[in-house]
Structure 1
């Protein structure tokens, strides 16, 4: 589904950006613990490496079998980047050494931002690292201050809330969903991220009521100078009982805006277009977005990415004289994180990666000679790691352009190198952070 926003294409310099770029974020797809992982309790985490390891020893046999098989990502340099990041996992080394037909450039990037959350990862990727500290609800139980709970209940005219703890979203819905439906109390929980998550049944509680409650909660948090919470997330679900409750695609993230202008803002200011696929628009608090494509599931998100690429081509052909000549298609594949990483589902993660890999040739074939494709991630979420939180890891940076010679781009000192490279490709002025590899 496509939504479009009007925006001005005027710039102070009069210059116009040109070109097309596609940025795909495989949410949570880390490739090895970073040097500061000890600050997060994540020394030894490796999302890609441990998935490859579990597949190699036969622990991922449901719906697939054998070694992790990602021929297209391998040709783009994924396993080479993984080996550069962490060469201690034999299964990953074997996959890296087996691939000799590299068609893309590859690197691994460390994160400058202080946190390992979704917002920080995406904003840094777009040229704005997060150096301030978010507010976290660290207590595992009775997580939220009493004043915040009271304010949420008053704003939503609620008889109370359920949970008030750290929890996995699917687990907490199964555990408290029936009580929620009977009592009318929403399920309010958090995690190691700077987040308030509110789950409610779409029918018994109402989707619009849930969204209104999340909007009100966002305003409550914004009004408290002692709370700097990154996101409020609406988690609607349907079903009749614990055995069949399932979250729907109507999730909504209410984020604080980035602290300064991002690559997205700068592209719009230069007369370009930004096509958000999935939750990108929510992550950037709707800023710097001209077109929104909503979808649920990896296949649907990929198809919407292809639709956006087709729409860009049509718009550029139609409006060559007065339309945009530059576009960024920015997609977040949230399911790798929400459905497999947080749930510690190694087999599901492996299967989803292989399904995504099989889709890639369609995108590669649709790219023009001068189009730039970058595949990366925003943090790790090792499905073999204790707990259910993100892991502090390097992320892959896979770069493909038909007229670009493949090479090892080495270690990147910031995710912002991605945004800087896209800015360079599109003819934008340099961003404040990052070094271009284009």
Structure 2
């Protein structure tokens, strides 16, 4: 065993899934990677090219070419929709359970009564559509940035309500709703009036706090994501951690994946995330590192092709640094969690296949095909470390080793 590192280029899909026409018609025609290269034909990501990005994309666009020595494939999203939280849980080996999709208005009275019984001060806010204000400083409402109906936000100012109190409140809400996610977050040096003034309605059905407008990101931002039907005990970080194997989650993955036995480092800036990743990789002899590059996804939300390409170039550079210092036993996977096509005409994630690009010395060049779930990555890493299997996924470890080499050599 050696070091196994996964780099997730958040939102970097390689073409819409077959079911998109039926389940997400707004995403039909999406191809995050392909459309970026189409708009920027001179963009060259030399290390991703070496890893087989164009092989996985299977389109001749721009100056990048296929590599006959690559180990590559693609993976479908097993979870419904195209969600960062569920995508990462799936990568870690969970089998996503279908959540309920409904506006917060469907649960508002239940949550109001539950919180009242718990001793909270609760009041309704809003005109036509209502949301909740708790203890005069915490809002509970729809998330209006994600796919509508899948996420509820709990927003506060830490000048009036502590992070620990926020987590306690969020757990009560989570236990009483069945949507995909409950996200609890807040910031410092903001007033509750600023939060309330950022309330916006969508589609005459949803109401939520516009998070950037509220000011929560400006100082002291902290966040925790609570998913539906997620059991950390059958996920890769917990399985490895219980065996005493080092686990480090860096970037957004640290915000959304449970890692009780390992190290979680929260940051967003692409260069900072990758500098930390490189440093951690250099300073361990064995273990698992998973890094999320969030700013690609943010550029997709903005519809900003140039910004997306700039972040890819930074990631590509650092991927090269990591490849250069890998030893015979180390393994690297570069992948994504969903798509976020900046050219598609809307600001949400896109339901796309994602690339699975594998690198290591003494491995077979091979097309590992279309995997049915992102969980095949988690299953493969569990197989590599020879630990118990994740809840979901099929390992492709054996297919990338030559007949002359032991998989644990």
Question: Secondary structure in 2 aligned to 1:312?
Answer: coil
What 5-or-longer segments of structure 2 have no aligned partner? 195-211, 398-409
Question: Secondary structure in 2 aligned to 1:247?
Answer: coil
Give the Cα separation in 1 of the matches to 2:392 and 2:37.
33
Moved more, 154-163 or 372-381: 154-163
Question: Is 2:159–2:188's contact at 8 Å kept on the other side of the alignment?
Answer: no
User: 1:167-223 CA deviation, whole Å, 9 max, x = no partner?
Assistant: xxxxxxxxxxxxx9xx967585413163223455xxxx3367263464244223233
Indicate the residue corresponding to 1:301 in structure 2.
Answer: 273
Query: Structure 1 residue 68 and structure 2 residue 43: aligned?
Result: yes
Indicate the residue corresponding to 1:195 in structure 2.
Answer: 151
Give the Cα separation in 2 of the matches to 1:365 and 1:243.
42
Residue 329 of structure 1, CA deviation: 0.5
Question: Is 1:105–1:409's contact at 8 Å kept on the other side of the alignment?
Answer: yes
TM-score (norm 2): 0.77
Question: Secondary structure in 1 aligned to 2:357?
Answer: strand
TM-score (norm 1): 0.72
Residue 420 of structure 1, CA deviation: 1.8
Change (3 A) 1:164 1:329: farther
Indicate the residue corresponding to 1:107 in structure 2.
Answer: 73
Query: Structure 1 residue 209 and structure 2 residue 180: aligned?
Result: no
Please point out which of 1, 4, 28 is paired with 1:43.
Answer: 28
Give the Cα separation in 2 of the matches to 1:81 and 1:395.
9
Give the Cα separation in 2 of the matches to 1:431 and 1:145.
36
Report how many residues are paired. 365
Give the Cα separation in 2 of the matches to 1:397 and 1:208.
45
Query: Structure 1 residue 267 and structure 2 residue 218: aligned?
Result: no
Query: Structure 1 residue 422 and structure 2 residue 359: aligned?
Result: no
Matches within 5 A, 1:73-88: 73-83=48-58, 87=59
Indicate the residue corresponding to 2:333 in structure 1.
Answer: 374
Give the Cα separation in 2 of the matches to 1:250 and 1:95.
40
Give the Cα separation in 2 of the matches to 1:297 and 1:218.
27
Residue 122 of structure 1, CA deviation: 1.4
Indicate the residue corresponding to 2:181 in structure 1.
Answer: 230
Residue 78 of structure 1, CA deviation: 0.9
Indicate the residue corresponding to 2:303 in structure 1.
Answer: 344
Indicate the residue corresponding to 2:292 in structure 1.
Answer: 332
Please point out which of 15, 23, 35 is paired with 1:32.
Answer: 15
Change (3 A) 1:213 1:347: farther
Give the Cα separation in 2 of the matches to 1:276 and 1:269.
16
Give the Cα separation in 2 of the matches to 1:433 and 1:184.
40
What 5-or-longer segments of structure 1 have no aligned partner? 1-17, 57-66, 88-92, 166-179, 314-325
Give the Cα separation in 2 of the matches to 1:185 and 1:425.
45
